[in-house]
Amino acid sequence: MALYDVDIRPQLDQVSPDIANPQSSRLDEDDSTLSSASSDRSVRSVESTTASKGKWKANINGDWRYGSSESATSTAMSSVSSSTAAEDKTITRPQFTSPLKKRMSDGSIKQPPLRLNSSIGSASEQPQAVPEQPQQDQQTQHIPPKKKRGRPPKDKSLLAQPAPKAPKASRISELKDEVRPRSSIPSRLPAEVHASQAIEAAYASRLNPFELHRGEHSLLADLLMSHEVTVYLNIRNAILRLWHQNPLCGVTPKEAAGCAKEARFFGLAEAAYKWLVRNGYINFGCVETPRDAGIAKSRRSGKQKTVVVVGAGVSGLTTARQLEHLFEHDAKRWTDVGERPPKVIVLEGRKRIGGRVYSKQLRDQVPGSLPDDLRNTVEMGAMIVTGFEHGNPLDTIIRGQLGLRYHLMKDALTIYDSDGRPVDEQRDMLNTELYADISDRAGDFRAAPQDTNTLKGDEELISRCRDPISDGFADFQLEPLPNPMDHLPQYKPAAKRGRRRNAPPQTEKLTGRTRVIEMSNATQSAARAAKEMGWQLREGIARNQSISLNEMARASSHPTLGSVMDDAIEQYQDLVQLTPQDMRMLNWHHANLEYANAAPVSSLSLSGHDQDTGNEFEGAHSEIIGGYTQLPRGLMNLPTKLDVRFDRVVDSIHYNEGAPGESEYTTKVVCSDGQIIEADQVVMTVPLGVLKDDVVDFDPPLPGWKYGVIQRMGFGLLNKVILLYDQSFWDDDRDMFGLLNDAEQQNSLDPEEYARRRGRFYLIWNASKISGRPALVALMAGHAAHDAETTDSNSLLAEINDRLRTVFSPEKVTAPSEVIVTRWKRDPFTRGTYSYVGPRTRSGDYDLMAKPVGNLHFAGEATCGTHPATVHGAFLSGLRVASDVMTAMTGPIDLPLPLVGAPTIKQETVARYNMPQTVPLPPQPSISTNTPATAQVNAPIIKQEHDPTSLASVPVYASAPAPPPPKLAGPPKQSVCARDDSFWARPSFDHNDLDYEASIVGTILSRLGDRPLKPSRPGVNPFLLFTKAKWDECKAHCSRDASTAGRDAIRATLGKWWKAATEEEKRPYLEQSEQAQKVADTQRKEWAEGVEKWDAEARRIRQEFVAEHPPPVVQGEGVGGSKRKSNNSSWVVLDHV
């Protein structure tokens, strides 16, 4: 049977008569990745892979031997013994060994002489080029299978090369122009507004604005005094703000320097800039890299290193694009030693880019059906962008740089029962809440995520865009470092932010629903929880009766989520009457989880299946109009075309594992057509499914720890049946609808009976808005996804049509004009859909997947533990691996030392201490070579911050009236006037307009003061009141059993006490809670009135202002609403997009 893209006509006898129109229907058995044209060739390429292996062996004149089992085993064994544990990876914690340090007058930091043990966060131990090898998997002792061995012929000329000189030069240190401190901080912008934008930009970059990232911590911890952390964070956040203002222009070193408020902090700006660039927080994507004019000439000659990236999916293209940026940013490192910056070659096995992002062009194109002449496509793979807000890096690319059109999805969802009738909404809600409760109870067995503690800044100062004010002496004083105890690992319950109220955890990953779960009911007895949801308890069931999942969770050493949740469903059946329809609904939610994880719930790890919870983005989910492939296309083509070579199926990789004496070999990547490409670094981005199936040979074989993690990780399956019609018969305003499925044994109450069928077309998306044609995408999830691989397309078509006809009536459902069935498991370049956490997967396995072996690096969605199984995860993995490769090639980030110059002492301080007015001049940090050092001493530069509330001096602009602004933007969440759309500016590129907006805001604030602050939520939860009241008693109780009762143990005991407490015992807390709620309600009402008044006044002042001072002319609308027009970043606006 042909596997790929075979055109078949629906068999008329299998298809219902009203749809069996042989003229109009056409089925594509799509391999999900190959267009009709390319499918044959792909089959051939796979065949040729095998065939050419023999050919390739013959070509190498005996040098290419397929290694004996002996050598393979011995290599494996050596890696076994040399490697360290692949046990759950513990995150390196900073261990402060020195309680005191001081900054000397020359700016250097003096550590006390006695160091008890070496600091992990030490700058001298900056990020390692090659991370530590994880230890061998002790439990499973994986021995890699015997591999074909042998190296391609040695290239003697390469062997003779001298060892590369360590490139040192830093481009920033060669800046010629003078940089003025604060030049990137708009003086007319109130400090709070600037702070709010900078904080928002940090969040939008997935960074904590008030805390160092782990990478920053290990780079800087030993070089910073505590109070300098705040200064650093202010600079770092301000640089991020510049980037988010306009990601169409890279932030330049000069702009970064201008984020410092004093010249002596330019070193901090340099550190922040370099760290942000290296790690892909700024200047990434389809943007020109800020160029160093002086190096263009020397680049045309000289040696050039090569990085080969295998795979042109989103991760591969991002890796290549980012490496090009990094090489360009640091070009001097190579030109200074007579080389050209390295080149990047992408080898792709298919004839197209995008991998699992594949927008297949429809057979019949209807010109003009989509704006901008976009083509009519349907998504075979990824389709949904899961929210643009709160850190999705794709926001920068899709909206900020490429300006792609997208459709925001609505989360309205009607679910139809197996008889075609819509499910009663109330019943739907009851079951949704019950499912969420069961999911939360199963969540008790979730592995606690590890938290990292890094140096923190002063939150209050950062929120007001203030640096700590130095008295000129503090820097010379001994300063205690944070308590070492603060840096021990802490265990926190998994965050719940971002979950939808109506859906279990993880489903938000890919579906369009966005409501948020608030407090879980799972702390109360199951009977009480069910009662509160609205379920009728069975007769004789006491309210404190509960369910226990312990037994099932402990029954296996690798318990699954499915077994425990099904056990919970069965136990709930004893408490409430669940009907077969309820069972169908609960199983619909199972199917939804199976979709999000691409695996049956019975294959998901109980403790880790949702290890990425808490990292979800915010905002409505969306789909790209005209096809998601526009993203990888943009990454490949902009700003300059990447060197992507198609039809290059990588067959084997001969890499350097970094063992002593290995340097005599060069790294080679061998394609199935016999082509050999020599490389200095190799990045593998092939899907986990391809690695699992051992398709690519590695020489030497991958070490046991790597092989072990590849086996332990799950790689799942999801399939789609895509139907194109001439006319839609569904409500085109809806984005999706759901279908319930019967059990194998109809009306069964046994959860297991539902497992096989529940994922069959359980969710159907209306893809018309993005395809430009009436199109439905029906999902086959869980076991059904595997059925789709083996069921013929006609049967699938007949089945989906039957279902549609029960929902929309037979007359309405016409024959589809095109049908495409995906079969991702059979696709040789993917072999499944995306990764999941299986029962044997361990916490930290995603990080192990990301670890390099010698000069062989790994990227792809399965290497991104924070955002696996997604396009943005693939993108982030590309940024991460590019940084790893750069570090491997050039070493860690080089920092200017000292990082902070000596402070300038204020006149009054000098007078007070009767000091001589000059202090020794520190060498100026390299970011500003031209700032006259003496000027700093003579003219004190530690300025008092201006008071943002005194805005009398806010300038106004009188110029020609502007056309109406193009688009309304949202306010920063942290701002003083969030949520009032009228208050916020509409983005444009015009800097005058930005300043103009600042003037309006300033005027409003100066007249009205701050917008009333929303009253904080009262502590109305009775359980919290109970916890507060009983804490000490409980602590004493717990200490009797254990010498040290931890907070978690006390909380757990309190939970039990609360559960066991009688109504009488609970009453005072319930009453107190009610009382507090009443007070809160009154305060909220008052606040709402105040805000309404304030907003009305603000609108009035705005109108007045605009009438008196017409706005400057707006020069044009920007792609994606960027706000920083060019690299001159003193232009700002008060809104964000």
By CB under 6 A, tell whether 350 contacts ligand FAD: yes
Coil/strand/helix, residue 504? coil
Stretch that binds ligand FAD, among 246-254, 522-530, 869-877, 1074-1082 (CB under 6 A): 869-877
Q: Which is nearer to ligand FAD, 356 or 668 (CB)?
A: 356
> Pairing state of beta strands 714-715 and 719-724?
unpaired
Start-to-end CA span in the chain (Å): 51
By CB under 6 A, tell whether 510 contacts ligand FAD: yes
Q: Which is nearer to ligand FAD, 313 or 1002 (CB)?
A: 313
Contact 8, 27 (CB under 8 A): yes
> Pairing state of beta strands 650-654 and 667-671?
antiparallel
The nearest distance, CB 828 to ligand FAD, in angstroms, is 8
Stretch that binds ligand FAD, among 305-313, 610-618, 659-667, 1033-1041 (CB under 6 A): 305-313
User: How far, in Å, CA of 210 to CA of 253, rounded?
Assistant: 23
Q: Which is nearer to ligand FAD, 19 or 770 (CB)?
A: 770
- The length of the chain, given as a count of residues: 1137
User: How far, in Å, CA of 409 to CA of 386, rounded?
Assistant: 10
By CB under 6 A, tell whether 874 contacts ligand FAD: yes
* Side-chain-side CA neighbours of residue 620 (13 Å): 11
Q: Which two three-digit tokens encode residue 665?
A: 């070999």
By CB under 6 A, tell whether 48 contacts ligand FAD: no
User: How far, in Å, CA of 214 to CA of 856, rounded?
Assistant: 24
User: How far, in Å, CA of 580 to CA of 747, rounded?
Assistant: 5
Q: Which is nearer to ligand FAD, 696 or 969 (CB)?
A: 696
By CB under 6 A, tell whether 462 contacts ligand FAD: no
User: How far, in Å, CA of 128 to CA of 449, rounded?
Assistant: 24
Q: Which is nearer to ligand FAD, 349 or 844 (CB)?
A: 349
Stretch that binds ligand FAD, among 308-316, 431-439, 734-742, 919-927 (CB under 6 A): 308-316
Contact 766, 712 (CB under 8 A): no
Query: Which of 690, 778, 784, 994 lies at the binding interface for ligand FAD (CB under 6 A)?
Result: 690
Query: Which of 718, 739, 954, 985 lies at the binding interface for ligand FAD (CB under 6 A)?
Result: 718
Stretch that binds ligand FAD, among 105-113, 196-204, 223-231, 872-880 (CB under 6 A): 872-880
Query: Which of 313, 391, 504, 704 lies at the binding interface for ligand FAD (CB under 6 A)?
Result: 313
By CB under 6 A, tell whether 315 contacts ligand FAD: yes
Query: Which of 282, 383, 522, 775 lies at the binding interface for ligand FAD (CB under 6 A)?
Result: 383
The nearest distance, CB 317 to ligand FAD, in angstroms, is 8
By CB under 6 A, tell whether 512 contacts ligand FAD: no
Q: Which is nearer to ligand FAD, 15 or 820 (CB)?
A: 820
By CB under 6 A, tell whether 1121 contacts ligand FAD: no
Q: Which is nearer to ligand FAD, 833 or 999 (CB)?
A: 833
- Sheet with 676-679: list strands edge to edge: 676-679, 667-671, 650-654, 697-699
Q: Which two three-digit tokens encode residue 692?
A: 């699992």
User: How far, in Å, CA of 213 to CA of 164, rounded?
Assistant: 32
The nearest distance, CB 707 to ligand FAD, in angstroms, is 17
Query: Which of 255, 292, 566, 861 lies at the binding interface for ligand FAD (CB under 6 A)?
Result: 861
Which are the contacts of 593, defined by CB distance < 8 A and separation ≥ 6?
A: 504, 506, 507, 561, 601, 604
In the DSSP assignment, the letter for residue 474 is: G
Q: Which two three-digit tokens encode residue 832?
A: 């499944």
The nearest distance, CB 776 to ligand FAD, in angstroms, is 15
Q: Which is nearer to ligand FAD, 646 or 1057 (CB)?
A: 646
The nearest distance, CB 607 to ligand FAD, in angstroms, is 23
Say if residue 112 is preceded by a cis peptide, omega within 30 of 0: no
Q: Which is nearer to ligand FAD, 607 or 833 (CB)?
A: 833
User: How far, in Å, CA of 219 to CA of 120, rounded?
Assistant: 10
Stretch that binds ligand FAD, among 94-102, 644-652, 743-751, 1121-1129 (CB under 6 A): 644-652
User: How far, in Å, CA of 636 to CA of 320, rounded?
Assistant: 9
User: How far, in Å, CA of 988 to CA of 1000, rounded?
Assistant: 16
Stretch that binds ligand FAD, among 307-315, 331-339, 516-524, 767-775 (CB under 6 A): 307-315
The nearest distance, CB 395 to ligand FAD, in angstroms, is 13
The nearest distance, CB 66 to ligand FAD, in angstroms, is 18
**Burial degree of 630 (CB within 10 A; 0-12, 13-18, 19+):** buried
Query: Which of 265, 445, 824, 996 lies at the binding interface for ligand FAD (CB under 6 A)?
Result: 824
Query: Which of 347, 404, 575, 1001 lies at the binding interface for ligand FAD (CB under 6 A)?
Result: 347
Cα dist. 125→102, 508, 1037 in Å?
A: 20, 39, 45
Best CA proximity match to 866, nearest among 449, 319, 341, 292: 449
Phi, psi of 82 (to 5 degrees): -85, -20
Which are the contacts of 1036, defined by CB distance < 8 A and separation ≥ 6?
A: none
Stretch that binds ligand FAD, among 231-239, 377-385, 660-668, 707-715 (CB under 6 A): 377-385
Contact 290, 251 (CB under 8 A): yes
Q: Which is nearer to ligand FAD, 510 or 821 (CB)?
A: 510
The nearest distance, CB 612 to ligand FAD, in angstroms, is 12
By CB under 6 A, tell whether 642 contacts ligand FAD: no
By CB under 6 A, tell whether 696 contacts ligand FAD: yes
Size of the site for ligand FAD (CB under 6 A): 42
By CB under 6 A, tell whether 382 contacts ligand FAD: yes
Which are the contacts of 376, defined by CB distance < 8 A and separation ≥ 6?
A: 361, 362, 364, 365, 366, 369, 370, 771, 772, 773
Best CA proximity match to 1005, nearest among 1081, 1098, 912: 1098
Residues in the site for ligand FAD, rule: CB under 6 A? 310-316, 347-350, 355-357, 381-384, 510, 648-650, 685-687, 690, 695-696, 718, 824, 829-830, 833-834, 860-861, 869-874
